[in-house]
Amino acid sequence: MRKGSSEQSTTHVSPKLEGFEIKGRPLTGLGLLIASVVGTFAVLIYFGAWAVSDRMEKRVAATESSVAQIEAKWWEDSLLTVCPLH
Amino acid sequence: MRNPALWLDKTFALQEHTITHYAWVIVGIAAVVQMVGAAIRMVFGVLVEPLAETFNWSLGSIGIAYALMSIITAVSSPPAGYLSNRFGAKRTMTAGTVLFFIGMMWTAQVQQIWELYAAYGIIFGIAQATLLVPVVPAVASWFRRHLGLGTGLMLGSWSLGPAIAVQVMAVLFENIGWSESFMVTGIVGTAILLSILLFFKDTPEQAGRVAYGARSSDKPLITSGNIFVEFQSEFQGFVYKTNAFWNLINIHFLGCVGHAVILVGIIPLAMSKGLGPVNAAGVLTTISIVSIVTRFIAPVLSERYGSKIIMFFSFFGQGIGVFLLFTASSTWEFYLFAVVWAIPYGGEGTVFPVINRQYYGHSPMGANYGWQLLGAGLGMALGGLLPGLIFDITGGYAWAIALSAVFSLAGAAAILFLDPTNRQLIPDWPEVESDHVTTGTSSISNGGD
């Protein structure tokens, strides 16, 4: 950034923004971005829940107890609750 | 063709090119900054084992530092872009160099795991953003035309930095130890960065020169003063209202997930199919080398034929190419994959400066590029996480490969929703009216260089 450049402001060509407007909101762009975020969370939840059920099955096998007797951590419970497929 | 030389001259506008323009000095400096910035990420690989041996830290707890650095770099990118627009690329990169030095010295001295998180995760994360984000928009400002050529040459060097840094660090680790290696490379790297930044100028107007590709009818762009700041705010307000702004963040995110899965997972995948460590590493090296070509070519072609079509084929090729991995089991099949896939992969990320120019003209690119690198950074972090997570669950990489394809092809689909690149989405950045404008310390002339 330069100091002492105030003379540029007096000689500039006025931008062609006068009268320029963008009507509407960027719904397509935002919609696609939100769809990607939702899709990514869905992937993470699905594989996260898969990993949790895998871990719990291994714990069941190791302790020779049932799934109901296994004490799940809060994040394991959360992932299994959120994922409709596990 | 009666005169091939004339045809070449006309087709590629050779009469507009020169190698004696200061823009090439800027491209050279930018390439070195890019190499250092990119190397920060890659030297972590050689740091893991010494830290685990010295402090008995688990690989998982050390890996958190890398994940933290990736996320901090991503979220620091928009602020770095804003700082670059507001205070200039040189100042922002100088601040990044200071942070790089602090990060190197602190990493060399770490005794506790929280220090590693602070030094490598946070300090390096911010340093990487403040070095990598401003440099591309600054180079863009030096090219009134032929931006694809400038950014292509600069981004082509991206792969070299990590390759050189990893080798140098590995040799230094062997000879003087990991802590001393970080101190030596920190001092040398900082000295190199500060020296070359002395020759860096944010804009041609600041250097009293004209931009590369400027014609006699072009007037200098407004690059300083209060009016510059006001225009930025006004223009950026319109940029946020365009679909392309949001979609480009999304597209960069999807593309980076797609290739990060492969870049992180290809060595373990190849080894799981029976390749030795050297051969498996060679697959990744092949990808790095072949991609240099398309990193350079893609922006040049984008400028000529439109960014949208080049981006689409890059993403589509990146998505389709990974299907070769489903059946690859021998060494030659993995190397075939490396060559075939690296071509579209190389072109995936380097088109963004050109498409920004095609949509938003000569307005300062820092903020837009910073937001796009936020998407890219989060994509790289997620893509790096997926192969390991999926292998732990399924005992294989098939799902990871499939997800890589899904993310890349989703990016290709999102590109179809972009506006055509043959017209700007907002009016072009204003020019200075008179040819000779006194700016306090020098005179800007719109004549030849």
Contact yes or no for B92/B83 (Cβ under 8 A):
yes
Residue keyed to tokens 């999304």: B250
Portion 71-130 of B in contact with A at CB < 8 A: 86-88, 91
- Which residues are CB-contacts of B360 (< 8 A; sequence separation ≥ 6)? B235, B239, B368, B424, B425, B426
Query: Using the 8-state DSSP alphabet, how is residue B210 labeled?
Result: -
* Chain A contact present for B138, CB below 8 A: no
Backbone region of residue B67 per phi and psi (left: phi > 0; alpha: psi in -120 to 50; beta: other values): alpha
Residue B257 in contact with partner chain A when CB distance is under 8 A: yes
For residue A75, the distance in angstroms to the closest alpha carbon of chain B comes to 16
Closest B-chain CA to A44: B386
pLDDT for A65 equals: 72
Question: How many percent of chain B have pLDDT more than 70?
Answer: 94
- Range with the largest mean pLDDT of A11-15, B20-24, B391-395, B435-439: B20-24
Q: Which of A52-66, B167-181, B281-295 has the highest mean pLDDT?
A: B281-295
Who contacts A5 (Cβ-Cβ below 8 Å, separation ≥6)?
A: B224, B225, B228, B439, B440
pLDDT at B188 over 60: yes
**In sequence order, what are the residues at sequence separation of 6 or more whose Cβ sits closer than 8 angstroms to the Cβ of residue B272?**
B396, B397
- Is residue B417 within 8 Å of residue B208, measured between CB atoms? no
Residues from chain A that touch B231, judged by Cβ atoms under 8 A, are 15
For residue B56, give the amino acid letter. Answer: N
pLDDT of residue A15: 58
Q: Does B228 touch chain A (CB under 8 A)?
A: yes
DSSP B129-162: HHHHHHHHHHHHHTBSS-HHHHHHHHHHGGGHHH
pLDDT tens figures, A47-69? 999 988 888 888 888 877 776 67
Spacing of C-alpha B434 from chain mean position: 36
Question: What does the radius of gyration of chain A's CA atoms come to, in whole angstroms?
Answer: 28
Domains of chain B, first to last: 21-203 (1.20.1250.20), 237-423 (1.20.1250.20)
Q: What is d(CA B207, CA B223) in angstroms, rounded to the nearest whole number?
A: 11
Cβ–Cβ contact B206 with A under 8 A: yes
Read off the amino acid at residue B219. K
For residue B342, what are the contacts with CB-CB under 8 A and spacing of at least 6?
Answer: B286, B287, B288, B289, B290, B291, B294
- Positions of E strands within B186-244: none
Give the orientation angle of helix B59-87 with respect to helix B124-141, to 10 degrees: 40
Q: Does A47 touch chain B (CB under 8 A)?
A: yes
Check if the beta carbon of residue B125 is closer than 8 Å to that of residue B64: no
Q: Which residues make Cβ contacts (< 8 Å) with residue A75, sequence separation at least 6?
A: none
Q: What is the domain partition of chain A in residue ranges? A: 41-86
Distance of CA B264 to the CA centre of its chain: 18
Mean pLDDT computed over A27-52: 94
Q: How far apart are the C-alpha atoms of B364 and B11, rounded to whole Å? A: 29
Region B181-206 average pLDDT: 92
Give the whole-number percent of chain B exceeding pLDDT 90: 59
Q: Using DSSP, state whether A16 is helix, strand or coil.
A: coil
pLDDT band at B338 (very low <50, low <70, confident <90, very high): very high
List pLDDT tens digits, range B385-403.
888 888 888 888 999 999 9
Residues of chain A positioned with their CB less than 8 A from the CB of B425: 22
pLDDT, one tens digit per residue, over B343-383 is 999 998 899 999 999 999 999 999 999 999 999 999 998 99
**pLDDT for B48-106, tens place per residue?**
888 888 999 987 788 888 889 989 999 999 999 999 988 999 999 999 999 999 999 99
Mean pLDDT of all residues in B419-424:
94
**Which residue bears the tokens 């509407």?**
A24
Q: What is the pTM of this model?
A: 0.86
- pLDDT at residue B168, rounded to an integer: 81
In this predicted complex, what is the ipTM?
A: 0.84
Instruction: Tell me the per-residue pLDDT of B208-253, one tens digit each, with 9 for 90 and over.
Output: 888 998 888 888 888 777 788 888 888 999 999 999 999 999 999 9
Helix (H, G, I), strand (E, B) or coil at B437: strand
